[in-house]
Amino acid sequence: MNLNNSRLREKSIVLIGFMGVGKTTIGEMVAKKLYRDFIDIDQEIEKEYNMATSEIFQNIGEKAFREKEKNVISAFSKQSLKIISVGGGAFLQEEIRKVCLEHCIVIYLDLSWESWKERISLIIDSRPVLQGRSIEEIEELFYSRKPIYSLHNSKVETDNLEACEVADYIVDSLKLAWDLHEPQ
């Protein structure tokens, strides 16, 4: 984990990666293990509009969703001690990348296209960005989004790992980094 700055232990953790890699599932587990609050940005936006993400995209539009996403992330990323799962498209926005990298520890959950494809049926109905696209178009989107996740403090390869194994790995890595940088 490549980190500087003091008060590392208090920084919030932000999970990034393509939709469906497990940011929400794993973020929730990491939060429980570290006794921290879990914030899922998609869920925060859904609460504000009292609508599912697909409905927000349909009724209000993606532009408004992205603006809200930026504002919600800007606010939460400046708070300490949170585990934050951002939406798969959040890092498309430079301001979001900047604010997260400035204030938080950013962890990229990576998954190969081959493994991701096996998970598509779990998420297709609730992810408006995937709807109406062929598998070839989704593959293109998957690879075109890869570079936006390249700015991070740590990457976790999640292929062939259960969500709880990824969560354990993240918690262990964090504890190691904290002890190394700020011995108690």
Ligand X SMILES: Nc1ncnc2c1ncn2[C@@H]1O[C@H](COP(=O)(O)OP(=O)(O)OP(=O)(O)O)[C@@H](O)[C@H]1O
Q: Would residue 6 be called left, alpha or beta, if left means φ above 0 and alpha means ψ between -120 and 50 degrees?
A: beta
CB of 138 to ligand SKM, least distance (A): 11
Residues 26-55 that bind ligand X (CB under 6 A): 42
* Gap between the Cα atoms of 104 and 125, Å rounded: 31
Provide the terminal-to-terminal Cα distance of the chain, rounded to the nearest Å. 18
53 binds, among ligand SKM, Mg ion, ligand X, none (CB under 5 to 8 A by kind): ligand SKM
The interface mask with ligand X, positions 90-119, x = CB under 6 A, is -----------------------------x
Compare residues 69 and 105 and give the one whose CB is closer to ligand SKM: 69
Q: Are 15 and 26 in contact (CB under 8 A)?
A: yes
Give which of 148, 161, 165 is closest to 112, Cα–Cα: 161
Q: Which of 11, 12, 13, 24 binds ligand X (CB under 6 A)?
A: 24
Q: Is 88 in the site for ligand X (CB under 6 A)?
A: yes
Q: Are 52 and 62 in contact (CB under 8 A)?
A: no
Which residues contact ligand SKM (rule: CB under 6 A)?
A: 19, 42, 53, 87-89, 127-129
